[in-house]
Amino acid sequence: AQSVTQLGSHVSVSEGALVLLRCNYSSSVPPYLFWYVQYPNQGLQLLLKYTTGATLVKGINGFEAEFKKSETSFHLTKPSAHMSDAAEYFCAVSEGGGATNKLIFGTGTLLAVQP
């Protein structure tokens, strides 16, 4: 079965600093990988996704992630944090095939941005 591990349930950075949120996955087949963001009192919004092709994926709000098969990782980065980036971030892998496309989510990383 596929699974997702997000290292660090809480990450705090200073405004303007690099954001790095870690995600490792396990999958017996080529994975489809997603990063979602959840702002307070809202649902999840897709930041970016990897399906096939280029391993460096660019998303909204200046975020990007790199698929590294050898490391089974899909870490999320942003060069310079903004106060508005404070939210919870979820990595997910798609368990494709069959009648149902299941998204397997990690436990989330809460990002705090300090002024």
Binding region for another protein (CB under 8 A): 4, 9, 32, 34, 36, 41-46, 49, 51, 90, 94-108
Amino acid identity of residue 18, one-letter, is: L
Could you give the C-alpha distances from 43 to 36, 94, 101, in angstroms and in order?
A: 10, 19, 19
From CA 11, how far away is CA 26, in angstroms rounded?
23
3-state secondary structure (DSSP) of residue 109:
strand
Q: How far is the CB of 97 from another protein (least distance, A)?
A: 7
Q: What are phi and psi of 61, to 5 degrees?
A: 60, 25
Q: Which is nearer to another protein, 107 or 114 (CB)?
A: 107
From CA 50, how far away is CA 80, in angstroms rounded?
22
Q: Which is nearer to another protein, 22 or 49 (CB)?
A: 49
Q: Which is nearer to another protein, 17 or 59 (CB)?
A: 59
Q: How far is the CB of 99 from another protein (least distance, A)?
A: 4
Q: How far is the CB of 58 from another protein (least distance, A)?
A: 15
Q: Which is nearer to another protein, 98 or 115 (CB)?
A: 98
